[in-house]
Amino acid sequence: MVPHIARLILGGDHARVLPAGALIGALLLLWADIAARTLMAPEDMPIGIVTGLVGGLFFVRLLGRKAA
């Protein structure tokens, strides 16, 4: 999901997409961890649940965009 986001923002230049993808991926995991900790405040939700939901929604949107 992250490389697709970086490619949509920056274009196809790999020299720019690779560092941007690493930065966007780190930010995505940071925000997913914050969301997982605050959604179930006394307990910790596995971060894979949050990233799976976000990734699944993004994938469905990306498929819908390609079909149009």
pLDDT at 19: 95
Burial class (CB in 10 A: 0-12, 13-18, 19+), 6: buried
Domain borders along the chain are: 1-67
Residue pLDDT, tens place only, 9-47: 998 889 999 999 999 999 999 999 999 999 888 888 899
Residue 10's CB is within 10 A of a number of other CB atoms, namely: 15
Closest CA to 2 of 66, 58, 63: 58
* pTM attached to this predicted model: 0.77
67 has a pLDDT exceeding 80: no
How far apart (Å, rounded) are the C-alpha atoms in residues 37 and 41? 6
Query: What pLDDT does residue 28 have?
Result: 93
